[in-house]
């Protein structure tokens, strides 16, 4: 292929069965990382690749792993590739992807995912069959090695560390060290024949402005609440939306505030049982509800912020961190990301915003900036400056004075959401979720359909809800829609109100985003 042309899948020397699976998945051509990484991996090069979420990196390593197994002349059935992942959710995604890619050669390439929480003894039979590819978290793989359910011979050809920066950070190092010692005994030549290629793909951290529009708007605390109420109530922001705030307590403050106006949202809280969190994300992905409020659990991601974690509390901290929302969990078809509170680091901004505009879908990111967050904003702007030297975060031209009429309702709602109300809401939800998690676990195993009925965006309101706040009186909506007489003749409410802000902003209609 010429330098300026994309190297196509059929030009990589892949097995026909693999090409057929790729065609069935509807991939017309490789993504940037797939085009660069697959040929190098097929040559047996060691790769360290950095690419943004949604860039197709799973297939970038899965395809060469499968191809090498198909073309190998090893006769013995043995484990040939080991894929390490930080969470069981990611393990399931990797297994699904591998199964899709081996659809036409499933007899020749068998994949086992042991990242789940099943008993070791329950997973033993799968491993005794010596699957070609084993997917698992470091601790789980190590446990199976110690129990001798898994034996790694010199037949092991490929080791993949997915989300390596997360796996080599806080909470995983001990397991990884032990595991790598075991593997290096198997690979005696590893240290001599290490020909590493580092792939840093230009501009690969976030999509460009044709796919992802990023905006910022300067507003102080009260205005943040006023603005989000208006954007959501008047449907100026449409489609599935992730709202990020700085702390769990603020998640509930915001949820209770929106509840006053009849806007349902659910909180993804690290204190909730893991089953509940998985269920929330699954239901969000299936379109049960539109808004999730989440934090980054930044302190848990930073080992310096939690030195006591090494002591007795270590286990809880680790499990919380394993479920950090900003990564490793797949939200599908997210149309908008709203930074209600601005993230503390550039990396966190990229991970949050990388949840939208995935694959070929378009998306919008809107950040609310208070005066205390201006420094963080300039760090992000500096890191993400476009090729022309302009910041990728455009100012969101929203005329705050236009929504002044809504301020008294906003203040009314904010007064109801007291510290006591927030504390009660957190307790109520944790009790409720623990109850659901424990009592209903076995019930749902027998009645999976009923699980669909369990929703997480229900009202919690220990705050007094004033019924009049749920409806927008006509005089309020008229005042604001008549200030802008556009040339269009037929307006929906949302279209009228969008005149307040950028005409081209985030009116992502539901259904517009395809599958990511």
The yes-or-no verdict on residue 193 having pLDDT over 90 is no
The yes-or-no verdict on residue 219 having pLDDT over 80 is yes
Give me the number of domains the chain comprises: 2
Identify the pLDDT of residue 266. 92
Domain membership flag for residue 408: yes
Better-predicted residue by pLDDT, 315 or 209: 209
Domain membership flag for residue 146: yes
Q: 41 and 134, same structural domain?
A: yes
Burial 181-204 (b: 16+ CB within 10 A, else e): eebeeebeeeeeeeeeeebebeeb
The yes-or-no verdict on residue 91 having pLDDT over 70 is yes
CATH number at residue 291: 3.40.50.300
Domain membership flag for residue 479: no
Tokens of 158: 């490929």
The answer, as to whether pTM is greater than 0.75, is: no
Identify the pLDDT of residue 384. 85
In terms of C-beta distances under 8 Å and separation of at least 24 residues, what long-range contacts does 118-125 make, across chains too?
Answer: 120/144, 120/147, 120/149, 123/149, 124/149
Q: 176 and 123, same structural domain?
A: yes
CB 111 within 8 A of CB 102: yes
Domain membership flag for residue 413: yes
Winning range, highest mean pLDDT, from 380-384, 385-389, 440-444, 502-506: 380-384
* Among candidate residues 469, 486, 502, the one where a domain is terminated: 469
Domain membership flag for residue 374: yes
Q: 220 and 183, same structural domain?
A: no
Distances (CA, A) of 181 to 56, 186, 331, 334: 30, 9, 35, 40
Domain membership flag for residue 401: yes
Q: 221 and 188, same structural domain?
A: no
How far is residue 249's CA from residue 422's CA, in Å, rounded to a whole number? 7
Residue 136's H or E segment, with its range, is strand 133-136
Domain region containing 392: 212-297+327-417+463-469
Q: 244 and 157, same structural domain?
A: no
Q: 117 and 155, same structural domain?
A: yes
Question: Can you give the three-state secondary structure of 268-315, one letter per residue?
Answer: ECCCCCHHHHHHHHHHHHCCCCCEEEECCCHHHHCHHHCHHHHCCCHH
First to last CA, the chain: 28
pLDDT digits (tens, 9 = 90+) for 506-515: 444 434 444 4
Q: 136 and 239, same structural domain?
A: no
Q: What is the mean pLDDT of residues 375-404?
A: 87
Residue in the structure block whose two tokens are 């203040």: 411
The yes-or-no verdict on residue 394 having pLDDT over 80 is yes
Low-confidence winner among 326-330, 409-413, 455-459 (lowest mean pLDDT): 326-330
SS3 317: helix
How far is residue 371's CA from residue 384's CA, in Å, rounded to a whole number? 20
Residues 6+ apart with CB under 8 A from 359: 54, 56, 514, 515, 516
In terms of C-beta distances under 8 Å and separation of at least 24 residues, what long-range contacts does 279-287 make, across chains too?
Answer: 279/451, 279/454, 279/456, 280/456, 281/329, 281/330, 281/331, 283/452, 283/455, 283/456, 284/240, 284/331, 285/330, 285/331, 285/332, 285/333, 287/240, 287/510
Identify the pLDDT of residue 435. 66
Q: 132 and 276, same structural domain?
A: no
The yes-or-no verdict on residue 274 having pLDDT over 60 is yes
């Amino acid at each position: 292929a010429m330098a300026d042309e994309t190297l196509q899948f059929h030009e990589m020397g892949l097995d026909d069965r693999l090409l057929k699976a790729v065609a069935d998945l509807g991939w017309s051509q490789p993504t940037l990382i797939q085009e660069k990484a697959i040929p190098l991996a097929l040559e047996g090069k060691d790769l360290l690749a950095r690419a943004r979420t949604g860039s197709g990196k799973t297939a970038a390593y899965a395809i060469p792993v499968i191809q090498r197994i198909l073309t190998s002349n090893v006769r013995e059935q043995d484990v040939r590739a080991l894929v390490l992942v930080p969470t069981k959710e990611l393990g399931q995604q990797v297994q699904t992807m591998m199964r899709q890619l081996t659809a036409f050669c499933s007899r020749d390439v068998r994949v086992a995912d042991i990242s789940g929480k099943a008993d070791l003894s329950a997973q033993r039979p799968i491993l005794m069959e010596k699957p070609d590819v084993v997917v698992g978290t470091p601790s789980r793989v190590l446990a199976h090695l110690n129990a001798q359910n898994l034996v790694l011979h010199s037949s092991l050809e490929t080791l993949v560390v997915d989300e390596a920066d997360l796996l080599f950070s806080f909470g995983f190092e001990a397991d990884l060290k032990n595991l790598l010692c075991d593997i290096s005994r198997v690979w005696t030549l590893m240290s001599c024949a290490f020909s590493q290629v580092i792939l840093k793909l230009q501009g690969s951290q976030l999509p460009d402005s044709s796919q992802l529009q990023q905006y910022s708007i300067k507003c102080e605390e009260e205005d943040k609440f006023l603005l989000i109420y208006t954007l959501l109530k008047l449907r100026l922001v449409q489609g599935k939306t992730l709202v990020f705030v700085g702390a769990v307590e603020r998640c509930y403050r915001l949820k209770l505030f929106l509840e006053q106006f009849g806007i349902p949202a659910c909180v993804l809280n690290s204190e909730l049982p893991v089953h509940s969190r998985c269920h929330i994300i699954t239901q969000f992905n299936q379109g049960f509800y539109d808004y999730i409020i989440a934090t980054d659990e930044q302190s848990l991601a930073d080992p310096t912020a939690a030195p006591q974690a090494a002591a007795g509390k270590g286990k809880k901290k680790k499990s919380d961190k394993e479920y950090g929302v900003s990564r490793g969990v797949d939200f599908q078809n997210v149309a908008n990301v709203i930074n209600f509170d601005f993230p503390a680091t550039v990396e966190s901004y990229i991970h949050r915003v990388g949840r939208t505009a995935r694959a070929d879908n378009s998306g919008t990111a809107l950040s609310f900036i208070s005066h205390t967050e201006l420094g963080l904003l300039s760090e992000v702007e500096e890191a993400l400056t476009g090729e022309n030297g302009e910041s990728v975060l455009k100012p969101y031209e929203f005329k705050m004075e236009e929504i002044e009429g809504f301020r008294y309702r906003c203040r009314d709602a904010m007064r109801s959401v007291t510290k006591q109300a927030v504390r009660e809401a957190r307790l109520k939800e944790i009790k409720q979720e623990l109850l659901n998690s424990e009592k209903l676990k076995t019930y749902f195993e027998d009645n999976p359909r009923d699980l669909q009925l369990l929703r997480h965006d229900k009202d919690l309101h220990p705050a007094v809800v004033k019924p009049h706040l749920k409806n927008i009186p006509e005089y309020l909506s008229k005042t604001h829609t008549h200030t802008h007489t556009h040339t269009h003749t037929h307006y929906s409410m949302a279209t009228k109100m969008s005149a307040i802000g950028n005409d081209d902003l985030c009116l992502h209609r539901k259904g517009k985003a395809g599958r990511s």
